[in-house]
């Protein structure tokens, strides 16, 4: 059963602190208060204070358009009518409408670690104006990486499921500001990760799959050879997806 969440703002920003530091500090101080509230009527969020004036492009995943979304909290699914994902700061952003205007908030990831963004895509029919709209459910999780995982290139944050099976493929979006030809722009990057036994492994080259699945090493090597996958360079997204799909055929479903 879906519930509609109303917004309750907990002011939490402190000058000089990062958004994540603020989230962690405020989470500790508001946990007891939050438990006393009617949890079905509350979104726990902090002010979103980012400004991107003068920077070309967008920090948001997919588009600047607000999408409706579903968030999971304690096994229940709640609907949020408007949400955007800020890749530059790894924040899920929602608006709060008041008589004074719109205030932007970001969800506390440790409270809402699972989010499905309903992305609308319009399609063309025989070259005509886009008429049909398809909704894709894009599943994101907040993954709290351990210290050892940080050392292996896995950081805490939101990850997007590309393939969601026994062995899943996830990606992490980042967007940093760089200057080119005198213009500040957003420079986007996508990194891919294998999810096995609930843990994430950063994918560089093909050997990550050989090391992760030693019992299937010969079959994976044969697949790599048959598909002419270069094991000496970083894998592109197409070959990564091919390998994940193949490995899932080797696993009992």
Of 220 and 130, the one with more pLDDT: 220
Q: Which residue has the higher pLDDT, 2 or 118?
A: 118
What is the pLDDT averaged over residues 65-86?
89
Average pLDDT value over all residues in the chain? 82
Q: What percent of the chain has pLDDT over 90?
A: 55
Compute the distance between CA of residue 221 and CA of residue 217 in angstroms, rounded to an integer: 6
Nearest 5°: CA angle at 212, between 207 and 213? Answer: 100
pLDDT value, residue 253: 56
Check whether 120 has a pLDDT greater than 50. Answer: yes
253 vs 82: which has the higher pLDDT: 82
Measured CA to CA, the distance from residue 187 to residue 57 in angstroms comes to 9
pLDDT given at position 139 = 97
Lowest mean pLDDT among 54-63, 97-106, 125-134, 154-163: 125-134
Q: How many CB atoms lie within 10 A of CB 110?
A: 14
State yes or no: pLDDT of 138 exceeds 80: yes
- In this prediction the pTM is 0.79
pLDDT reported for residue 18: 52
Mean pLDDT calculated for residue range 60-66: 86
* Token pair of 142 as six digits: 């907040």
Sign of CA dihedral 194, 170, 49, 60: positive
Dihedral sign from CA coordinates of 200, 175, 137, 68: positive
Mean pLDDT, rounded, for 189-214? 95
- Picking from 103-112, 166-175, 216-225, which range would have the lowest pLDDT averaged per residue? 103-112
pLDDT (0 to 100) of residue 32: 37
- pLDDT grade for 60, boundaries at 50, 70 and 90: very high
Strand partners, 179: 184
CA 48, 54, 55, 57 dihedral sign is: positive
Nearest alpha carbon to residue 200 among 142, 137, 115: 142
* Better pLDDT: 56 or 133: 56
Q: What is the pLDDT of residues 93-108, one digit of tens each?
A: 998 887 778 889 999 9
In the predicted structure, residue 12 carries a pLDDT above the cut 60 = no
More confident residue, 186 or 253: 186
Q: How would residue 185 be classed by pLDDT, with cut points 50, 70 and 90?
A: very high
The residue extents of the domains of the chain are 3-120, 146-250
Checking if the pLDDT of 29 tops 60, the result is: no
């Amino acid at each position: 059963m879906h519930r509609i969440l109303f917004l309750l703002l907990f002011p939490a920003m402190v000058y000089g602190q990062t958004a994540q530091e603020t989230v962690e500090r405020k989470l500790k101080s508001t946990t007891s208060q939050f438990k006393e509230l009617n949890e079905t009527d509350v979104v726990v969020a902090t002010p979103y204070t980012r400004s991107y004036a003068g920077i070309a492009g967008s920090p948001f995943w997919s588009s600047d358009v607000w999408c409706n979304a579903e968030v999971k909290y304690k096994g229940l699914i709640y609907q949020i009518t408007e949400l955007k994902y800020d890749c530059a700061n790894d924040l899920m952003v929602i608006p709060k409408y008041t008589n004074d205007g719109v205030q932007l908030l970001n969800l506390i990831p440790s409270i809402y670690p699972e989010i499905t963004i309903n992305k609308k895509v319009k399609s063309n029919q025989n070259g005509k104006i886009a008429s049909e709209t398809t909704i894709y459910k894009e599943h994101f999780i907040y993954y709290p990486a351990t210290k050892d995982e940080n050392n292996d290139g896995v950081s805490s944050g939101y990850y997007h499921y590309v393939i969601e099976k026994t062995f899943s493929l996830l990606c992490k979006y980042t967007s940093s500001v760089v200057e080119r030809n005198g213009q500040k722009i957003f420079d986007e990057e996508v990194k891919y990760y294998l999810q096995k036994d609930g843990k994430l492994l950063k994918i560089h080259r093909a050997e990550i799959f050989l090391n992760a699945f030693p019992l299937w090493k010969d079959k994976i090597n044969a697949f790599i050879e048959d598909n002419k996958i270069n094991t000496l360079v970083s894998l592109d997204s197409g070959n990564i997806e091919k390998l994940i799909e193949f490995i899932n055929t080797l696993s009992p479903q």
